[in-house]
Structure 1
Amino acid sequence: MKANIAIIMGGYSSEYHISILSGQNVYKHLDRTRYIPYRVIISTEKWVCLDDQDREYAVDRSDFSVLLNGERIAFQCVFNAVHGTPGEDGLMQAYFELLNIPQTSCDYYQAALTFNKRDLLSVLKPYGIKSAVSYYLNSGDPIHEDKILEKVGLPCFVKANRAGSSFGITKVKKAEDLRMGIEHAFKEDDQIIIESFLDGTEVSVGVITYRGETRVLPITEIVSENDFFDYEAKYQGKSQEITPARISSEERSRVEEVARLAYDVLHMKGYSRSEFILIDGIPHMLEMNTTPGLTEQSILPQQAKAAGITLTELFSSAVEEALKQI
C-alpha cells in the first residue's frame, strides 16, 4: 500500500515563496509508485491541502488530517520543505513529534539550535570548529559602535540571527553605515550577530542521511558577482555555483571532515547544508541550514546530481529514513 506523504511548504517568514518552489519540486519528483504526495501550504492565515486542481481543503490541526473530496486523509509521513519559521526552527518538528507523525528533517532541538546562528557556533566551538569573531546585539540593547568595530573590524557583516536566504544581512564597509546595517537586521529578527569579514573561498557542503548512511555530498564553491552571497546572488543569477569546488584535495578533506563532524556532534538527520569560508585551507563555519532549498537550481540538489543521485532518489531516501522512525 502506498504511503500518504504531506509535503509542507510556505511558512511564516520572508522565505515563504522560495519554500513554495522547493515544495512544488519535491511534489513533482517524489516517486508515485511508492507514495501518494499531497501539497500542504503553511501560512500565517491558514493551513490548507491542495488537490490536483489546486483547490484548497483545510487541515485539521488537531491531528494533521484533511477531509479531501469527502475522504479523511491521514498522513504516514511529512516531507518538510518549509524554510525559516515554523519549519526550520523546531516548531513543526515538535508538533509532529507530539502527533507521532514522522517527518524528514532533523528533530526539534537540532532545528532550534541550528536556526540560531549564535547558539550553533557557540556549541560547535569546543569541538574545534572555527568561525568569525562576533558581537551580539538584542533589540533594546545599547549600541556602542566603537566597541563593536574595535572587536570585529571593517568590513564586517551584520546579520539577523534567525533568518535565511540572506534576508537581513548587510556588508558594512564604513563606520557610518554600521547603524543602518543594524537597523536593517532588526527588521528580520530581534537578535543580531555582527561578524568580522573572512577573506577566503566560500564553499557550501551538503551532509545528508542517505540510504541509512551519513554522506557528504560534493562541495560547491560560491563565486558571487556582488559583495557577498546575498539574495540577488542566490536567486537571481548573480553568482557562480561551481560543483565540485575548485579547491585542493587537502582542503576538500578538511571541509568534509568538519562538515561531517558538525552533523555527527549535533546528532543530525535528514538534510543539512553548511556554509564555510576557507582561509589558508582552514574551514570557518558561517551557518547550517536544515531545510535547504530543493528546487532544480538549489545547491543541495546540484550536489546530489554531481554525486549521481537523482532528485527522485534523494527525496525518496528522505521519506524512507523518516518512516523508519515508526
Structure 2
Amino acid sequence: MKNIAVLMGGYSHEWEISLKSGEVISQNLDTSLYNVYPIHILKDGWYYIDGMDSRHEINKNNFSLNINDHEILFDCCYNTIHGTPGEDGKIQAYLELLEIPQTSCDSYQSAITFNKRDCIAVLKPWNITTGRHLYINQGDVIDAEMIARNIGLPCFVKANRSGSSFGVSKVYKVKEMDAALDAAFEVDEEIIIESFLNGVEVSVGAYQIDDKINVLLPTEIVSENDFFDYEAKYEGKSQEITPARITPENMLAVQETTRRIYQVLKLKGLARADFIFHKGIPHFIEVNTNPGMSKESIIPQQIKASGASLQNVLTYIIENTIKHHTS
C-alpha cells in the first residue's frame, strides 16, 4: 500500500475552497491501493487529523508524520491547494528538494501559470488567441480615461495572482474604475485589465498519462450574475452544461487549443483552461493548474460526462506521477 498525502488549504483567499477539493479527492482515492492522509497546509500549521480528532504535525524536515512512534513517509502528494503555496510553485519547489513526487506541474511551470501576465506572455508566441490586456502595479499613476480608451468598456479588472474570481470586477463606466482597482489591490499588488469578450464561455479540463494528453469535454458556463464570479462558481448562481452547446468544429478547436496550451506550458496532472468564443474563435482567459475539485466544480462533471470514473482518473494520475518521477 502506498502512502498518499492529499495537500489542501493554502494561505490565500481560496483556502476554504481548497479544503472542499481536498475532501472530494480524499473520498475518491482507491483505498485498496492507498493509505490516504488528508494534510492541511494552513497558516496555523501543516497537520493531519486522524479519526480520533487528534492533530499530528508534519515534520517539515522530510515531510513526514509520526503517529504512535511510527514514521510515515509519503510515496506521492496529491496537490489540490489553490493559490499560494500550492499553485505558485512554492510547495512544488519544497517537494522537489525532498524528491517527493506531487501531481501538479513543477515549480517553474507553476510560477509562470499562476501569474496571469506571465502565462499570457509565454503563450502568445504560440498563436494562442487572447483579448487585449493592460498591466498596473500598486503605486503606479493610474489614468482611468486612458485605460478605457486602450482596453474599451466594459472591461475586467483582475488581481494578477489569484483564483476563484477573488479581486475581479466588471467595469462599465470610467467612474467605476477606482473601486474595481481597490478591490483587486486588496488581493494582489499586481493587476491585469482585460478587454471584454462577448461570446460563449467554456472551460476545458485535461490530464496527461505517459505521452497522451487526454482532453475532456468542454463545459459551457451560463452565469446568472454579470460574469462567472464567486457566487456563480460556488453558490449555484450558474448553469454548467457539459458538453457545451457549441458546434462540432468549435468543440474540436477548443479541445485542440487546450491540448496545445497543456503541451506548451508543460503542465502535469489535472488542469483546466478557460475560454470565451469571441467572433467564433476561442480566446484564452486563464489556466488553472490545481482546478477546483469540490462537488460543485467543473472537472468532476467533465470526467463523469466522458464516461470515466473520478477514482480511476485519480489513480492514473498518481501512478503516472510516481512512474515518471522515478524513471
Q: TM-score range with shorter-chain normalisation?
A: over 0.9
Residue number in structure 1 paired with 2:78: 79
Number of aligned residue pairs: give it: 325
Partner of 2:268: 269
Structure 1 equivalent of residue 137 of structure 2? 138
When residues 196 and 225 of structure 1 are mapped into structure 2, their CA distance, relative to the original with a 3 A threshold, is same
Q: Structure 1 CA distance, aligned partners of 2:134 and 2:269?
A: 31
* Equivalence for 1:10: 9
1:204 counterpart residue number: 203
Matches within 5 A, 1:129-208: 129-208=128-207
Which residue matches 1:284?
283
Q: What corresponds to 2:124 in structure 1?
A: 125
Pairwise CA distance, 1:52 = 1.9
Identical columns (%): 50
2:227 aligned with 1:225: no
Q: For 1:246 and 1:210, how far apart are their aligned partners in 2? A: 28
Instruction: Give 1:242's aligned residue.
Output: 241
Structure-2 change in CA distance of 1:313 and 1:212 (3 Å)? farther
Q: Are residues 1:97 and 2:96 paired?
A: yes
**Partners of 1:82 and 1:103 in 2: how far apart?**
12
The runs of 5 or more residues in structure 2 that have no matched partner are none
C-alpha separation between the residues in 2 aligned to 1:18 and 1:224? 19
Matched-pair contact (CA < 8 Å) for 1:11–1:82: yes
Is the contact between residue 210 and residue 314 of structure 1 (CA under 8 Å) also seen in structure 2? no
Query: Match of 1:114?
Result: 113
Structure 2 Cα separation of the partners of residues 121 and 150 of structure 1 = 21
Question: Counterpart of 1:265 in structure 2: which amino acid?
Answer: V
* 1:245-278, Cα deviation, whole Å (9 max, x unpaired): 0000111111011111111111111111000000
Per the TM alignment, residue 211 of structure 1 is displaced from its structure 2 partner at its CA by: 6.5
- The alignment's TM-score, normalised by the length of structure 2, stands at 0.98
Q: Which residue of 2 aligns with 1:26?
A: 25
Counterpart residue number, 2:299: 300
- The 1:212–1:3 alpha-carbon spacing in structure 2 relative to 1, beyond 3 Å, is farther
Deviation at 1:281, TM superposition (A): 1.8
The letter for the 2-side match of 1:46 is: G
CA distance in 1, matches of 2:238, 2:282: 21
SS state of the match for residue 102, structure 1?
Answer: coil
CA shift, 1:152, in A, is 0.6
1:225: how far off? 0.4
Deviations 1:23-45 (A, max 9, x none): 11111110011110001100112
- Please give the per-residue CA displacement for 1:26-70, whole angstroms capped at 9, x wherever unaligned: 111100111100011001121111212332111110100011122
Give deviations 1:49-96, integer Å, cap 9, x for gaps: 121233211111010001112211111110001011000000011110
1:98-145 Cα deviation digits (max 9, x unpaired): 000000111111111110111111110111111111110011111111
Q: After TM superposition, give the deviation of residue 212 of structure 1 in Å.
A: 5.6
Taking the aligned partners of 2:171 and 2:110, their CA distance within structure 1 comes to: 29
Q: Give the secondary structure class of the aligned counterpart of 2:87.
A: coil
Q: Deviations over 1:266-323 (max 9, x none)?
A: 1111111000000122010110000001123210111011111111112111111111
* Distance (Å, rounded) in 1 between the aligned partners of 2:35 and 2:283: 41
Provide, for residues 123-175 of structure 1, a one-character-per-residue CA deviation record: whole Å limited to 9, x for no partner. 10111111111110011111111211111111000000000000000001111
CA distance in 2 between counterparts of 1:116 and 1:14 reads 16
TM-superposition CA deviations, 1:219-266 (whole Å, max 9, x none) = 000000000000000000000000000000111111011111111111
Contact 1:15/1:83 (8 A) holds in 2? yes
- 1 CA distance for matches of 2:293 and 2:135? 31
Q: For each residue in 1:187-242, what CA deviation from the matched residue of structure 2 results, as whole angstroms up to 9, or x when unmatched?
A: 00010001110001100000111476210000000000000000000000000000
Q: Distance in 1 between matches of 2:236 and 2:54?
A: 33
Instruction: Provide the secondary structure at the position in 1 that maps to 2:283.
Output: strand
Q: Does 1:254 align with 2:253?
A: yes
Q: Quote the Cα distance in structure 1 between the aligned partners of 2:210 and 2:133.
A: 38
* Contact preservation (8 Å) 1:80, 1:103: yes
